[in-house]
Structure 1
Amino acid sequence: MYLYGANGHCKVVLEIAELLNIPINGVIDKSPNSSSLFGYPIYKEIPKDCKNLFVSIGDNSIRKALVNQNSKYKYSSLIHPNSSISSRSKIGKGTVIMAGVSINSQVIIGNYCIINTNCSIDHECLIHDFVHISPNVALAGNVEVGEGTHIGIGSSIIQGIKIGKECIVGAGAVIIDDIPDGSTVVGNPGKIIKTKIIQDNND
């Protein structure tokens, strides 16, 4: 496996791969700060022998662009052994589940997501592709999070809420109402402070 991206997020992903005894061939970064990371070589381009790739970049839009540019490779999920995952949940390809995460019954996690340290996702939640759920986030049951959305650290979302795609939920926000696409929401209770127009395409 090669990891694409050599910054802080990559370091956590790399250590999960090590814990799972997944061989790491190297790291790819177009503008590396050094020639190696934790003893693994850093390449500026994807090596020709690459078959299995993992995009280890925290930014949702950059991660999506890189996956779309490199769709021919195999992408596996990485699940930290110190996470609690219901056998009735589903985890998509290219997704990382970090330490201390709790995922309950019939949760569906999409492709290329980041489910970060110590977050809790309760029953029957639906997390679409390219979502980042930050550390210590709490999602109650039946919450839906749209593609490309970033849920900020320590935020809480009550049951049954639907959050649109490409939203930003600020750190510590408490979400008690549905959130439309492209919204930035902060505070307790959460209030929309900005909305962007979302392009409807299949990129």
Structure 2
Amino acid sequence: MICKELLKKFFRLRQNNFLTCSVSMEELIVIGAGGHASVVIDAVEKQGRYSIVGIVDKSKRGEYLGYDILGDETALTGYPETYLVIAIGDNWIRKNISDRVRGFPFATIIHPSANIARDVKIGHGTVVLPGATVNTGATIGRHCIINTGAIIEHDCIVEDYAAVQPGAVLGGNSTLGLCSVIGIGASVIHGINIGDNSVIGAGSTVISDIESSVVAYGTPAKTARNRRKGEPYL
């Protein structure tokens, strides 16, 4: 009898502690229902800060990963104060969507396994995915993708809408320009500047500055051709 009463008290204490420590979650809409979106949704669920109320995608209907697809971007008018995250891999598409949905709050999504130094600055709408590292003094802009296992070393600057793909490394004191991308497994040594709207090919090694609006690849990476704004790369 005494044990039974003690168990009751124990479970009441646990319940009260849970209720005291629980934090209300902000509502979130995910824009996009493709492969990148599935990774972002996983990060949202594990981060535990936002509750997904639905997904916006112009080409799909029904559900995606158990969440209702609300329709295209016009559906957002019914959710004026709901947080958004643009879960689309292409940098220019992400930029164009963010321009169209101005006025909404944007969530910053950080997977709990990411290693983020305490003084790092991360802009709204950016996603930092599993196993990524962002070291001290780094600044990450708005609507960026720091993908799975990517490394951003100390004092780097990653400009708005840029992406560092899985396993890529950006060496210390380097800059990645607006809407530029470092491909899967590429390495950039310290002190390098990569201009806006440029693509560094997968597996490349960058040992000198790369100008804006080019595609560069190889070891060492060299400019292969010019790149127009909005040109797909995925």
Aligned counterpart, 1:105: 136
The list of structure 1 runs, each at least 4 consecutive aligned residues, that deviate by more than 6 angstroms after superposition, is none
Is 1:4–1:57's contact at 8 Å kept on the other side of the alignment? yes
Aligned counterpart, 1:66: 97
1:171 to 202, 222, 234: 202
Cα deviation digits, residues 158-192 of structure 1 (max 9, x gap): 01000000000000000011011001001000010
Q: Deviation of residue 150 (structure 1)? A: 1.1
Aligned counterpart, 2:64: 37
Aligned counterpart, 1:127: 158
Cα deviation digits, residues 80-133 of structure 1 (max 9, x gap): 100100001111100000010111110000000000000111100000000010
TM-score using structure 1 length: 0.94
Aligned counterpart, 2:167: 136
Q: Deviation of residue 60 (structure 1)? A: 0.4
Q: 1: distance between equivalents of 2:56 and 2:216?
A: 34
Q: Deviation of residue 49 (structure 1)? A: 2.1
2:53 is equivalent to residue 25 of structure 1: yes
Matched residue count: 198
1:26 is paired with a residue of what secondary structure?
Answer: strand
RMSD value, Cα: 1.3
Q: 2: distance between equivalents of 1:178 and 1:197?
A: 19
2:51 is paired with a residue of what secondary structure?
Answer: coil
Any gaps of 5 or more consecutive residues in structure 1?
none
2:208 is paired with a residue of what secondary structure?
Answer: coil
2:42 is equivalent to residue 12 of structure 1: no
TM-score using structure 2 length: 0.82
Aligned counterpart, 1:92: 123
Any gaps of 5 or more consecutive residues in structure 2?
1-27
Q: Which has the larger radius of gyration?
A: 2
Is 1:91–1:108's contact at 8 Å kept on the other side of the alignment? yes
Q: 2: distance between equivalents of 1:183 and 1:123?
A: 26
Q: 1: distance between equivalents of 2:133 and 2:227?
A: 32
Is 1:52–1:73's contact at 8 Å kept on the other side of the alignment? yes
